[in-house]
Amino acid sequence: MKILAVESSCDETAVAIVEDGRRVLSDAVASQIEMHTIYGGVVPEIASRKHLEAVCLMADQALEKAGLTRRDIDAVACTYAPGLIGAVLVGVNFAKSVAYGLGLPLIPVHHIRGHIAANYITHPDLKPPFLCLCVSGGNTMIVDVEDYTKMKLLGATRDDAAGECFDKVARVLGIGYPGGGPMDRLASGGDAKKYPLPRSKVDGAPLDMSFSGLKTAALNTIHNAQQKGEELDLPSFAASFGQAVSDELVPRVEEAAKMTGRTTIAAAGGVSANSRIRGDLETMCRREGYQLYLPALHLCSDNGAMIGAQAYYEFLAGARGDTSLNGYAGMPIDK
């Protein structure tokens, strides 16, 4: 079954064609990063306009790259939540029109479920159940993937997302947007113990996380150094910060595995590209005897292929949209 999948929840307009949930026939992506870099973050209204400009072109490119025509497509899928609402609505309305025009089923896909499904593309042998650490620019959560479309939220951030935290600190350091990748590269060779940064604990919710205290402490460290005229050891600062983020995440994944008895672990989302987090997950899983699955680096950030992968399983489970399908800024993953 060939699904044409549209992703437009943030700053990438992506259209992919995926066969039977696992085989990517094409993936066309138009990134808006250059435009948002001017403002140091995503400007929602600009994002919506840019999606409008790019979405038809990306769909044509996806068909062309796959060597297919519209008649070869069996269903249309789109991210319908969560995300920037104006941006989400562009993809939803485009997908609705294509599905209606071609007389094809429409499959609504939860964006974070899509991130999780990036692992099915990278690892043909991966099947639920497993635990997944989902870490992106807007979401940070630990999910029990009981089945392809049955998920349970085990823990989540109480405030900022991990990616947001990377982006804000990188912006103050002036090292680029989005900041996670540059912070990761800067950290290599740095001393992760040099700058003391806090770790959070949420009373009564051992799997919940908090990043706002870490963000404030990191920004205070930068400002204090500036006020005293001291030069920050940037690689060590980036390494200390990356370690603090990883320490928020990896021990909680371990705790979640102990609580649920799951022995298969995966990671998903833009921040799952982080080398320290990947390394710490590998170390923990090796020590505990867990099987670890990490998405290919190019599938960590937003893309259409992951939406097409999850859409296949949503379709098998009976999920369908019609011309009344709406987009949503927020939606629980286990709904």
Q: Cβ atoms within 10 A of the Cβ of 321, count?
A: 21
Residues 159, 186 contacting (CB under 8 angstroms): no
Point out which span in 119-127, 176-184, 253-261, 287-295 binds ligand KG4 (CB under 6 A). 176-184
Q: How far is the CB of 42 from ligand KG4 (least distance, A)?
A: 9
Interface with ligand KG4 (CB under 6 A), residue total: 19
Q: How far apart are CA 90 and CA 108, in angstroms?
A: 13
Give the residue among 27, 7, 19, 8 at the shortest CA–CA distance from 72. Answer: 19
Tokens linked to 206: 């051992």
Point out which span in 196-204, 232-240, 263-271, 310-318 binds ligand KG4 (CB under 6 A). 263-271
Q: How far is the CB of 146 from ligand KG4 (least distance, A)?
A: 23
Torsion angles phi and psi, residue 132, rounded to 5: -130, 130
Q: How far apart are CA 222 and CA 220, in angstroms?
A: 5
The yes or no reply on residue 137 touching ligand KG4 (CB under 6 A) is yes
The yes or no reply on residue 274 touching ligand KG4 (CB under 6 A) is yes
Q: Which amino acid is at 211?
A: F
Tokens linked to 106: 């429409």
Q: Which is nearer to ligand KG4, 179 or 190 (CB)?
A: 179
The yes or no reply on residue 167 touching ligand KG4 (CB under 6 A) is yes
Alpha-carbon distance values, 305 to 77, 125, 129, 248, 264 (Å): 11, 17, 21, 29, 23
The yes or no reply on residue 10 touching ligand KG4 (CB under 6 A) is yes
For residues 89 to 128, the per-residue mask of contacts with ligand KG4, x marking binding by CB under 6 A and - elsewhere, is ----------------------------------------
The yes or no reply on residue 176 touching ligand KG4 (CB under 6 A) is no
- Sites of contact with ligand KG4 (CB under 6 A): 10, 136-138, 163, 166-167, 178-181, 184, 269-271, 273-274, 301-302
